[in-house]
Structures are given as C-alpha cells and as structure tokens.
Amino acid sequence: MMSASTPVIVVPRKRRNVELALILFALALTLGAAAMVDLNVTGSISSTFPYLAGVGAGLALVAHIAIRWKLPYADPVILPCVVLLNGLGLAMIHRIDLINDPPTSGARQQLIWTALGVVLFVLVAFVIRDHRPLQRFTYTLGLSGIVLLLLPLVPVIGTAKFGAQIWIHVGPYSFQPSEVAKIFLCIAFASYLVEKRDVLALAGWRVLGLDLPRARDLGPILLMWLASLAVLVFQNDLGTSLLFFGLFVMMLYVSTERPGWAVLGTLLFAAGAYLGYLLFAHVKIRVGAWLHPFSNYDLYYQVVNAQFGMAWGGLLGTGLGLGRPGLTPLARSDFIAAALGEELGMTGLMAIVMLYALIVSRGLRTALACREPFGKLLACGLSFAFALQVFTIIGGVTRLLPLTGLTTPFMSQGGSSLVANWTIMALLLLISHHVRKPVATVSENVAAQDETQLLKRPA
Amino acid sequence: MNRPIRRVAVVVMLMFGLLFANVTFNVVFRTESLNAQPQNRRVRDAEFAQDRGSILAGTTEIATTTPVRDRFKYLRTYPQGELYAPVTGFYSYDHARSGLESSYNTQLAGTDDSLFVRRMIDLVTNRTPKGASVETTINPDAQRAAAKALGDQKGAVVAIDPQTGAILAMVTSPSYDPNKIASHDIEAAGKAYQRLATAKNHPMANRAAREIYPPGSTFKLVTAAAALEAGKTPDSKVKSPTRLKLPGTQTYLGNESNCGGQQITLQHALEVSCNTAFANLGLELGADKLRDQANKFGFDARHLSDLGGAASKFPENPDRSQTALSAIGQFDVAASPLQMAMVTAAIANDGVLMDPYIVSVVRAPDLKPLQTTKPKELSQPMTADNAKALQKMMVGVVNNGTGTTARIPGVEVGGKTGTAQSDLKRKPFAWFTSYATSGDRQVAVAVVVEDADIPRQDIAGGRVAAPIAKAVMKAVL
C-alpha cells in the first residue's frame, strides 16, 4: 500500500498496439476468406481483389487511427471484432454475388456502405468526442426516433419488401430508418430515464413479492408498448417491435432497479405478441415455420431451406464457396447466418456468435465501469439492443425462435444497418474511452500549496 | 445501477448460451433427418453428382456411373437396362430410387457408415469419394436366357440356386429402360417416369418378387408335400372322381385332363395334375395343415427384402369347399413366382429351404468386402426322405406327365405345371416351376406367363411356361 500522502493515479493501459495486432489478425482472416471464395468458386483470384482488399484494410486502419488519436483509452477488443464481422460479411456477400451469372456487385456496394460507416465512426470520435452532451437532446432525438420509426408508413416513400413495410425509398436509394431510430431512441431513453428514474422507481402495489410501479407512472411504458404494437401492426415487423420494446423495458429496469418493470414489460410483450399471432397471418406463418417447418414445404420454404443449408454444412462446413447458399432465399440479408453456417459450419457460426458476445460483453463492462448514470444506461442500452438483435435473428435462422426479419449486424447486406452499427460501436468506444481515461486527482500536497495549479492529464 | 446491469448481463449470457445450445442441438439431433428430407436439393444434387458404385452381375456391370460434362459430372447408366431393371431398379433425380439402387443407396453413394473411414481418407487426401459396388448373385447367362425365352409375353422368371438361396435370374416382362429415368435432362426424365408409372401394362412392376398371382396347379406341390408329411407315400391311393361336388355347394369341380381312374396313386395324380384327387387330399388334410405346410415353404412372409418382395398368401379361414379349391391353388391362394421357386428349391434341396438373397457382396472402392452374404437356412418344410420322394414325383411329371416340354436329355429335371384361372374375365396364367440337377449343380426355376391365351388346364403351363424354364435351366447347368 502506498502512503496516503502520495498521489495515486491509476493509469489504465491504453492497449492500442494490442488493438492493432488484433485488427491485423482480423484482416488476415477476412482477406483470406475473400480469397478463398474466389479460389473455390472461380479457381482464380479476381483482378479487382487487391484493390478491394486494400480499401477494406485501409478502412480498418483509418478507424484504428481515429481511435488512437481521439479515443486512446477506448476498449481495444471491440474494433477488431467489428472488423472481423464486417469483413466476413463482405466475403460472404461476395460469395453470394458469384452465384449469379453474371456476378452481382453486392459486396462492392457493401464496401461503399462500410466506408460510410467508418466515416461516421470517425466523425463520432472527432466531432462528438464526449457522449455526455447528448443528454441535452432527449426530446429532439426521441421525437426524431419515433418519426424515423414510423416513416415507412408514409405513402409514396415507404415501401413494403418481403411483407414488411420497413423501407423508405428516395429516388434510387432505399433505407431502413428503424436502424437509425434505434440509436436515437436509445440515447433519448437513456437521458429521459436518468432524469425520471426516481419518480419511476416509486413503488406502487406489491404483487407476489414484486414492487410494481405506481399506476400514474405507467404512461411511458404503455406508450412504448403501443408504439411497438403499431410497428408490428402497420409495418408487419415483429423483430423491430420486439427490439424497441425490449430495449425500453430493459433500460427502465436498469435505471429504476425495480424488477417489477421488467416483469410487467415481459407480460405486456407476451400479450402483444399473442395478439399479433391471433390477428396477423404473417405472424402465424412465422410461428408455423418455427414449430413445424416440414408440415408445409412451400409455405415454409425459406426457413426449411436455411435448415437444409446448415445441416448440409454440418459441424465443419462445406468450405467457403463450396456450399450452395443460393438455394436459400435472402441468403445475403436475413439469412446470411444460414449461409455462413452452411459454408463455415456450425463451428464457424458459433465463432461468429462468440464475436458478437465479445462485443456485447465489452459494452456491458463499459456500462458497469461508467461513473455517471447517463453513460452507464446508454452503454447498457446499446449493448443490450445489439445482443437482442443478434439473438433474435440468429435464433430465428437456427429455429430457436420464430423468425423475425432483423438484420445480422455488420454482416447482412444493407447500408442502413451497417452505418447504424458502426455508429453504435463508435458511441460505445466513446463511452469506454471516458470510462477508462484516468481522472486527474488533486493530491493533498498540491492543494496545500494554495496556488493555482495546472492539472494536466497524463498523456 | 450496477446490480441491474449485472442481471442484464446474465440475461444476455443466457441468450447467447441458448444460441450455442440450440446450434449444438441442431448439429447433433437435426442434421441427419434434414439431410434425409426428400426436398433437400443440396443432398439430392450432391448425391446425384457422385461417382456412384456399380451394380454387377458376375463381372458384368449392370448399373454403372460414367463421367459426363454437365453440372452433375456423373451419369448413372444401365448398359442392359431393360434386362436388369427388375434387379437394379432406377436412380432418378425427382422420383427417388427403386430396386437395389434404393436398398443399397448409402453403400452405392458412399455415404454408408461402413465407408466412414474411407470417406475420411478421401477428405484428407482430397480425392473424390467413390461409392461401394454391389455384386449380385445374378448369372448373366441365365438372365439373358430367361429374357429371351420369355420374349414379349407378359410375365416373370425367377431362378434360384436351391443349395444357397442365391437368385440366379430375375426377369420380368414388359420391362423398362432405367436410363431414361436417370437422365440428367430432368424434365425428360420426369416425363419418362410419368409415362412408365401410368402405363397400362405396368412395366415398372417387379412381377417376379413383388406381385402375387394365383399359383394354380403348381400349388399342388405344397399339397403333395403336406400329404407326404402326413404319412402318405407316392404310392398311396387317392380318390379321383371325374367330378367332385364341392362340400356345402352345388358346384362341381371337374378335371381338365383324364386322371386315369377313380383311384389313382399320389404320384400319378401329380403327373396328370388331377384336380379332384388333390381337392380330396386337401379335404382330408384340412386347411390348417395346408397352411402350415405353405408357411413352412415361406408363405405369409416377405422375402428378398432388398427388392421389397411381397408375401404370398394362403386363405385365413376357408370353409371346406374353399379348402378343396385352395388345395389346387385356386380360390384365394396367391403366390409370387419367387415363392414358387422357393417351394421347388426346398424340394430339390432335400427339404431344406434356404433364405433367398440377391446381393452376394458389397465391396469398397479398394475392393475390400464390406459385407458378404452367407447362405442361411430359413426352415425345413419337409424331411429329406419325403423331399426325395417328391423329387421323384416331379421328375415323373416331366418324364411322363404334363411337363414333358421341359425335358433336358441327360439331366434330372423335375417340374410342375399350372394354369390359374381365378376369375372368368381374366385370361389364365400359365405357370411352370421346376428344378434341374446335374452333378453337383442345381437350379430351381419358376415361370409365370400372364395372358396365356390357352384354355386347357395344364397343357398351358407345359406348353407356354415350361420351355422358358427349360431354357433357363440349360443356361445355368
């Protein structure tokens, strides 16, 4: 133990070199995967491979430099995981491109979106720099979040694709606004709940050993419940509905520390889901495909073929480029996990899930270590939403749950999801930087000198 | 807020744990059934694109795989498709498989557990896995002879080695060309299949093992065996009136041929195929004894499971008039040609019935035998002495009776003719079942010809079916 007179400054190690090494490792895996796809499908590496590989590697390094420069104390594991997931996703999309004759250019588009994601990532690190001021935009962000969420319902720009009306179209561009809404609402919930947590924590009635909230405080949760039901009803989107409501309930519980909220929320969700099941044919189809996919091959074609693909891959997979993911519809978007399971095997799929789990665990660690409630709640919310999304979509594809059409973060083809997830990771890294950054302590001796001191943060 | 965050972390951990558990469950418990689903195109295509093992008859490849330059890479071909179709069956993309292609599918495809080590070696050495080959007991000479003798007539021929139970020939007519169904032009293959499946003369039916017919007078062998087992001798006298009033009815059973008296020996009754004599025998023995004897010969059980053989039948509860009819192979008695060949084989093999089999050995691509069939005794329907007595009676049929057309100089040939007429609208079936012994070589052959357009009772079997059996016996010996 050091004596009380010595100023104690705990300086966490930055571990930027570890991050760099991990990123290089992730890049090696990614580029190896992409090269393997080319070799296995066409027999030779395509002429554009070096350029695209260069762009991909460059993007990863740009993100790394941004962290090194602006967020040097940020968690060193998150970015390598993201690079690996994004890269494997690109390799898989490239693989599915090659099924078509002539090959489609999905991977190139995805790479452009990745670039945009990295730009936003860098912007968050350079422009926002600190997450705390975001608290000020509670209602602005909340309102924009809701508007974004419901935007696809606006005629003309909103379009239904694959049964769910969750897209907007402007000219040739399409966008899934709920992905951005996720971030906005997460920030808005966090700041709203931090502000109102004391009121919401007041216990109302006690039922079965649970302190349920006061009836007059039920407003927000009911509002969120209705909003998510609206998403389910009008947009036919069970996944998004579950995601937002789950996120809200979890944050409510964390901020108030009242399990009553969580129980109530779960019950409300169950009721909503059951209602949805009774009222909507598409929910019934999803549940049917989950429980007995082989009872109606034509109706449950998608899910059944995803299962066929994963069974075909077995434990170790057919090898990249050697499976037949093209037989599963939407292999590059909703069912990319099935395509990965087929070609990388269940082992590969589990490794991917493990990467997600690592990201989530790092996010939750950040939340635990955070010293102020807003950052805590925001980090926890973002991590949980991420986890819930991964659980729902991969659980759906592997028949753990009924399928809901969410994106597989960083892997599914689609710009909105990619950009949104890069932003979420930037926010998490931002918070973790502030959490791990050493706080200057004023030593007693310094105070005793009674002079104006320049307190300098250690580099 | 740390406590709830920790709990959230636990929930998240549970979620990921569930994902892992479920994925593991899928791999362990669901993979196999998913890969066995008929709609699974990945499995079907991969199997279709496999260097599938051959099916052989002796050294002749009767189903083989040839490399082609299309998306499946290997084409299943049947060099003498029509001749061996009842044995090989077909291998199709959309209509699954039949015959040995079906029952030995995993071995032929190389996916069988017995080929596991082989597969692993192929995987490591990066060789294209090859399927095992299936060697049948079919004797190509006998098969060709049977097909040639049967010609365009609708019917079937089965030849068995009585001492082992090995099937030496199995021909059914009309047959079909499995090449058309195995074609890589999936659409054309589908059309060919539809045409064959709906054709009026059922070319895809395996008439030798999977169809049962009224056996007519050939069933008298079973009745005779039961009589001998009950203590009679070939010289025992049997009542053989010109007409027999069936008990409890006003119907008379007549004879198609001259029985040669009111009291004749059992031997003579078989030689001339005397209906009234055997009907009387049946009445004397009773339905249960007849059924027991039939079952000992293999009735009421399915044989040759590799080809999905049908079970032959003796009626459950016949009254006395029905018993009399059953004793001469009419009423509800029904037998496959395979079954009648088994009856004959058991008699020829001195009363021991061998389990019929068609696959002798399954060989890995490196020619190592993976499974070898050992001849197996199925039952002993008769004592050796009675069997020898019945052999003599059958030789009498060929030498002095209705089966003279089957005679082969210098060879012991025993047989029994039959013409079955179970309903009046249908043309009778001509039967001939026989065995031949020459030195230590032996063969039993059963022949059925549907639509034999000849009304006379036993001459029909002798005239139409016996020469076919003779041709097959000559080919084997």
Burial A356-372 (b: 16+ CB within 10 A, else e): bbebbbbbbbbbbbbee
B27 in A contact zone (CB under 8 Å): yes
Burial of A174 (0-12, 13-18, 19+ CB in 10 A): middle
| Distance in angstroms (rounded) separating the CA atoms of residues B267 and B115 | 54
What mean pLDDT do residues A63-80 have?
Answer: 95
Using alpha carbons, select from A267, A273, A264 the residue that is nearest to residue A228. A273
pLDDT at B64: 86
Dihedral, CA of residue A119, residue A123, residue A126 and residue A132, to nearest 10: -140
Residues contacting B4, CB < 8 A, separation 6+ = A253, A254, A257
Question: Are residues A399 and B9, on separate chains, in Cβ contact within 8 Å?
Answer: no
pLDDT digits (tens, 9 = 90+) for A276-307: 888 888 888 888 888 888 888 888 888 888 99
pLDDT at A171: 67
Report whether pLDDT(A2) > 50.
Answer: no
To the query of whether residue B217 is one of the catalytic residues in this protein, the response is yes
Average pLDDT, chain A: 86
Q: Name the stretches of chain B with pLDDT < 50.
A: none
Contacts of A294-297 spanning 24+ positions with Cβ under 8 A: A294/B37, A297/B39
d(CA B368, nearest CA chain A) in Å: 28
A400 in B contact zone (CB under 8 Å): yes
pLDDT digits (tens, 9 = 90+) for A125-136: 999 888 888 999
Using alpha carbons, select from B97, B13, B10, B104 the residue that is nearest to residue B54. B104
Question: Are residues B4 and A367, on separate chains, in Cβ contact within 8 Å?
Answer: no
B37 in A contact zone (CB under 8 Å): yes
Question: Are residues B41 and A327, on separate chains, in Cβ contact within 8 Å?
Answer: yes
| Distance in angstroms (rounded) separating the CA atoms of residues B382 and B384 | 6
Report whether pLDDT(A202) > 90.
Answer: no
Report whether pLDDT(A56) > 90.
Answer: yes
| Distance in angstroms (rounded) separating the CA atoms of residues A52 and B45 | 34
What mean pLDDT do residues A342-368 have?
Answer: 95
* Whole-structure pTM value: 0.71
Q: Which residues of A touch B30 (CB under 8 A)?
A: 307, 311
Q: Which residues of B touch A297 (CB under 8 A)?
A: 39
From B217, B273, B312, B434, active-site residue: B217
For strands A173-175 and B441-449, give the pairing: unpaired
Element (H, E) at B171: strand B167-173
Tally of CB atoms within 10 A around B270: 27
Please check whether residue B443 is in contact with residue B162, taking contact to mean a CB–CB distance below 8 angstroms. Answer: yes
What mean pLDDT do residues A153-161 have?
Answer: 71
Using alpha carbons, select from A314, A410, A309, A303 the residue that is nearest to residue A353. A410
| Distance in angstroms (rounded) separating the CA atoms of residues B433 and B156 | 12
| Distance in angstroms (rounded) separating the CA atoms of residues A116 and A112 | 6
pLDDT digits (tens, 9 = 90+) for A417-430: 999 999 999 999 99
Question: Are residues B26 and A349, on separate chains, in Cβ contact within 8 Å?
Answer: no
Report whether pLDDT(A448) > 60.
Answer: no
Question: Are residues B16 and A350, on separate chains, in Cβ contact within 8 Å?
Answer: no
pLDDT at A1: 47
Question: Are residues A364 and B40, on separate chains, in Cβ contact within 8 Å?
Answer: no
Residues contacting B377, CB < 8 A, separation 6+ = B352, B353, B354, B355
Please check whether residue A111 is in contact with residue A154, taking contact to mean a CB–CB distance below 8 angstroms. Answer: no
ipTM score for this prediction: 0.91
pLDDT at B462: 72
B124 in A contact zone (CB under 8 Å): no
Report whether pLDDT(A452) > 70.
Answer: no
For strands B133-136 and B55-57, give the pairing: parallel
pLDDT at A346: 92
Size of interface A-B (CB pairs under 8 A): 109
Question: Are residues B12 and A383, on separate chains, in Cβ contact within 8 Å?
Answer: yes
Report whether pLDDT(A241) > 70.
Answer: yes
Question: Are residues B16 and A353, on separate chains, in Cβ contact within 8 Å?
Answer: yes
Q: Which residues of B touch A387 (CB under 8 A)?
A: 12, 15-16
B126 in A contact zone (CB under 8 Å): no
Residue bearing the bigger pLDDT, A105 or A452: A105
d(CA A444, nearest CA chain B) in Å: 30
> Which residue out of A99, A248, A310, A377 would a mutagenesis test of the B interface target, given it has the greatest number of B Cβ atoms within 10 Å?
A310
Residue B410: phi and psi, rounded to 5, are 80, 5
B29 in A contact zone (CB under 8 Å): no
Residue bearing the bigger pLDDT, A18 or B97: A18
pLDDT at B354: 92
Question: Are residues A311 and B40, on separate chains, in Cβ contact within 8 Å?
Answer: yes
Which SS3 state, helix, strand or coil, does residue B68 take? coil
Q: Which residues of B touch A338 (CB under 8 A)?
A: none
> Which residue out of A360, A371, A372, A397 would a mutagenesis test of the B interface target, given it has the greatest number of B Cβ atoms within 10 Å?
A360
* 3-state SS track over B244-261: EECCCCCCEEECCCCCCC
Q: Indicate the range of A244-248, A447-451, B255-259, B346-350 predicted with least confidence.
A: A447-451
